[in-house]
Every structure is written in C-alpha cells, then in structure tokens.
C-alpha cells in the first residue's frame, strides 16, 4: 500500500535545464511524472551566483501545474516572501544562515499561504534548526555547497538526515549531486524528496533518467521497511 511515509517525491531542479527551451524542458519532466519543480533563487550575496527572481517564477507558473518548490538562497528572504508567493510559489525554503529571525520568516511564509521550508548549508549543524521544527513543513539538507548545479554529492551530509528524522515528521529534502547511485542511501537515511538537476537534465532521455532515480529510491524505501 502506498502511504505518505514511503512515497518519495522527485523534484527536478531547473537550474540545469536549457533555459532557451524552458517550457519544453518543464513539459518533458512533467510528462515523465515528476512530482514537483525545484526553482533555485540566488542573489549573489548568500551564494556567489545569480539566477532567477519572481518574474521568471511567474512565467514558470503559467506553463505547469506542478507544485513549485522555491529554494531561496538569498539574504533576508523575508523581504521577498510576498513577491514569490504572488509569483506562484507553493513551497518556500529559506536558509537558517540567511535569516536574522527564522521564526518570523517562517511564519510570514505560512501566513502567505505557502508551505515553509528551512535549509542548512553543509557547514551548519542540523541542530541549529531543531528549535524551529514546529514551524516548518519541510527541511532541506544541502548535500553540496549551495550556489551551483553539477557538484559532487557529500555523503557525510546524510548523517544530518539521520539525526533529524526521529524528531521531525515532515518532509526532508536532499539537494545537490543526487543521482541513482546515492539516492538509495538518502532515502534510507530518511529523506523523502530528491532534488536532482544534472542527473535529470544532463541526460538526453529525461523520462528514463527520472525512472532510474525513482526505481533506485523505491528499492531503498521498501528495503528500509
């Protein structure tokens, strides 16, 4: 029986797609059966890269029905909660390192009508977010240094997932370098959302790549029970 506990969501990260074909790229992974779309927002301050803002998110909103999982790698994200919500974000994840008052930011996200997520970069201990767990729907554990797609997965980050899982019933997402080889370990550790950029968009056959990722995580999910 499929229960919430053993369903693993796959969220393609558009950072690795061909932006000249954005609509087709989204259509391809949507038809292939992905669950969410993961959108990486970077400000050139919190991370040394710049990507998309609310304008692009609102165009993406128009070409898909998939939930939009917006990962805000920006300083003072509370200033942009309304704008991203208006643009169509269903989930908004902020970094604890970027929030002067994480509790206030998370409650602003929930008040906007979106679900709230909290993330930690590799050097930040997972324990820093424990005081806020009641205020979040999702925890995103970075498995690379945030800023760029295509980096190597850091297996030692799964220890954070293992420490978090017994205390948190919500969704745990892993983001960075996820592929069919390391996805089973992430799922066994307790993750239930796999964010994947290059492992999907770097492959010619996206449907096949998505299937491979799902198959690997499914075997891990059933082995763990």
Residues 46 to 85: which contact ligand DX5 by CB under 6 A?
71
Stretch that binds Zn ion, among 1-9, 29-37, 70-78, 99-107 (CB under 5 A): 70-78
| Sequence-ordered list of residues with C-beta below 8 angstroms from that of 189, at least 6 positions apart, any chain | 158, 159, 161, 162, 165
The Cα-based distances of 55 to 59, 88, 97, 161, 208 in angstroms read: 7, 10, 25, 33, 31
Residues 149 to 188: which contact ligand DX5 by CB under 6 A?
149-151, 175-178
> How many CB atoms are closer than 10 A to CB 3?
7
Report whether 68 contacts 39 (CB < 8 A).
Answer: yes
Question: How many Å apart are CA 107 and CA 123, to the nearest integer?
Answer: 25
Give which of Zn ion, ligand DX5, none residue 102 binds (C-beta under 5 to 8 Å, depending on kind).
Answer: none
State which of residues 175, 183, 196, 212 lies at the interface with Zn ion (CB under 5 A): 175
Residue 38 DSSP SS3: strand
Nearer of residues 11 and 220 to ligand DX5, judged by Cβ = 11
Stretch that binds ligand DX5, among 96-104, 105-113, 161-169, 189-197 (CB under 6 A): 189-197
Q: Is 77 left (phi over 0), alpha (psi -120 to 50) or beta?
A: alpha
State which of residues 13, 51, 105, 217 lies at the interface with ligand DX5 (CB under 6 A): 13
The vertex-79 CA angle with 116 and 83, nearest 5°, equals 75
Residue 137 a catalytic site member: no
Catalytic residue among 40, 69, 179, 212: 40
Give which of Zn ion, ligand DX5, none residue 198 binds (C-beta under 5 to 8 Å, depending on kind).
Answer: ligand DX5
E strand or H helix at 56, and its extent? helix 54-62
- Rounded to a whole number of angstroms, the minimum distance from the CB of residue 94 to ligand DX5 is 13
Residue 40 a catalytic site member: yes
Give which of Zn ion, ligand DX5, none residue 93 binds (C-beta under 5 to 8 Å, depending on kind).
Answer: none
E strand or H helix at 215, and its extent? helix 206-223
Residue ranges that bind Zn ion, judged by CB under 5 A: 40, 71, 175
Residue ranges that bind ligand DX5, judged by CB under 6 A: 13, 15-16, 38, 40, 71, 144, 146-147, 149-151, 175-178, 195-199
Active site residues: 40, 175
């Amino acid at each position: 029986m499929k229960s919430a506990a053993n369903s693993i969501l796959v969220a393609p990260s558009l950072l690795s797609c061909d932006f000249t074909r954005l609509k087709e790229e989204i259509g391809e992974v949507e038809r292939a059966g992905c669950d969410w779309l993961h959108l990486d927002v970077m400000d050139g301050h919190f991370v040394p890269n710049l990507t998309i803002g609310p304008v692009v998110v609102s165009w993406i909103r128009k070409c898909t029905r998939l939930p939009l999982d917006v990962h805000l790698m920006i300083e003072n994200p509370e200033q942009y909660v309304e704008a991203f919500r208006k643009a169509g974000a269903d989930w908004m994840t902020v970094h604890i390192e970027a929030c002067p008052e994480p509790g206030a930011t998370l409650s602003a996200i929930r008040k906007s009508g979106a679900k709230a997520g909290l993330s930690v970069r590799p050097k930040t201990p997972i324990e820093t977010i424990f005081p806020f767990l009641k205020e979040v729907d999702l925890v995103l554990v970075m498995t690379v240094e945030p800023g760029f797609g295509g980096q190597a997965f850091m297996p030692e980050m799964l220890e954070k997932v293992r420490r978090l899982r017994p205390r948190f019933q919500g969704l745990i997402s892993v983001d960075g370098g996820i592929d069919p080889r390391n996805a089973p370990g992430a799922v066994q550790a307790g993750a239930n959302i796999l964010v994947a950029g290059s492992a999907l968009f770097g492959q010619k056959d996206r449907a096949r790549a998505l299937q491979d990722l799902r198959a690997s995580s499914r075997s891990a999910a059933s082995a763990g029970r």
